[in-house]
Amino acid sequence: KGSLVVVGSGIKTVGHLTQEALAWIKGADKVLYVVTDPVAEGVIQRLNPEKAESLAVFYEEGKLRRETYEKMVERMIECVHAGLRTCAVYYGHPGVFAYPTHTAIRRLRKQGYEAFMLPGISAEDCLFAELGVDPGSPGCQSYEATTFVTAGFVPNPKAVLILWQVGVFGHMDYSRTHYELREIPLFVEYLSRFYSPDHEVCVYESAIFPGCKPRADWVPIRDLTKVQLTPASTLYVPASERPTPDLELCKRLGMAVR
């Protein structure tokens, strides 16, 4: 009977692929992958040369990403229905901003198939390490940039804010080359409701190849319209206010407050 295991290749595939993920890729009857760089693709192809197939073929210029994701889900399910022990490899953590993997697992489980996911190293994990950010101190909020604005999420300026997909802000379609980011002023306007336009934020891109340095460009919010944002950019917004303890609650918890 077919089954599905979903693994992550990390951001820097050479180094981030876990031993467990490697074993699943090697032992699979079918490997379906979505990675963003040729090194990662080469690694996967070498691990299981006869059986590796890229799902990136479903990306088409101008096509809604949602439609592409459905095709990916269908292909994963089709392989499992064909009786193959299928391993899907997605870059980063395979369950972080990855609709197809969660959906395929949910649908297959409903049909009685074994389907599960292993964690991987996400862009956010790299950010914590490379920008020296501890999500536990003071706290961390993480949103998809377009949803953050359109859903009207209100950030708490006492905690760190991480905004994913800022380089495809306002776009639901796919582009192989680049996205026209005409809507970034609207994004800046929205952020400026909660932070001073002078507040410094960081456009972050973790290096995908060993030995390379990450991109970490600090700019005031007002200048986000002037920097280059790419599909690999994640925006880090440090807290702008200090958290102040609620003394009454601290007392009730028996905590000593200085």
Residues 6 or more apart whose CB falls under 8 angstroms from that of 179 comprise 167, 168, 171, 231
Q: Which of residues 48 and 122 has its CB atom nearest to ligand SAM in the complex? A: 122
**Taking a C-beta distance cutoff of 8 angstroms, is the pair 166, 233 a contact?**
yes
**Three-state DSSP state, 138:** coil
Active-site annotation, residues: 65, 69, 91
Nearest to 69 by CA among 107, 26, 39, 123: 107
Instruction: List residues bridging with 28 in a β-sheet.
Output: none
User: 123, 161, 184, 239: which one contacts ligand SAM (CB under 6 A)?
Assistant: 123
User: 3, 9, 68, 122: which one contacts ligand SAM (CB under 6 A)?
Assistant: 122
Contact between 88 and ligand SAM per CB under 6 A:
no
String of contacts with ligand SAM for each residue 181-210, x by CB under 6 A: -----------------------xxx-x--
Contact between 9 and ligand SAM per CB under 6 A:
no
Binding to ligand SAM (CB under 6 A): which residues in 219-248?
231-232, 234
**Taking a C-beta distance cutoff of 8 angstroms, is the pair 219, 226 a contact?**
yes
Q: Tell the smallest beta-carbon distance from residue 90 to ligand SAM (Å).
A: 6
Contact between 98 and ligand SAM per CB under 6 A:
yes
Give the range of 20-28, 89-97, 109-117, 236-244 binding ligand SAM by CB under 6 A.
89-97
Give the range of 85-93, 135-143, 186-194, 221-229 binding ligand SAM by CB under 6 A.
85-93
Contact between 48 and ligand SAM per CB under 6 A:
no
Binding to ligand SAM (CB under 6 A): which residues in 138-167?
164-165, 167
Instruction: List residues bridging with 115 in a β-sheet.
Output: 4
Q: Tell the smallest beta-carbon distance from residue 190 to ligand SAM (Å).
A: 17
Contact between 16 and ligand SAM per CB under 6 A:
no
Q: What are phi and psi of 112, to 5 degrees?
A: 90, 10
Contact between 100 and ligand SAM per CB under 6 A:
no
d(CA 246, CA 158): 14
Q: Match 């280059």 to its residue by tokens.
A: 228
DSSP 180-239: --TTHHHHHHHHTTTS-TT-EEEEEE--SSTTPPPEEEEEEGGGGGTS---TT-EEEE--
Q: Which of residues 59 and 190 has its CB atom nearest to ligand SAM in the complex? A: 59
User: H or E element: which one contains 27?
Assistant: helix 19-27
Binding region for ligand SAM (CB under 6 A): 11, 90-93, 96-98, 122-123, 164-165, 167, 204-206, 208, 231-232, 234
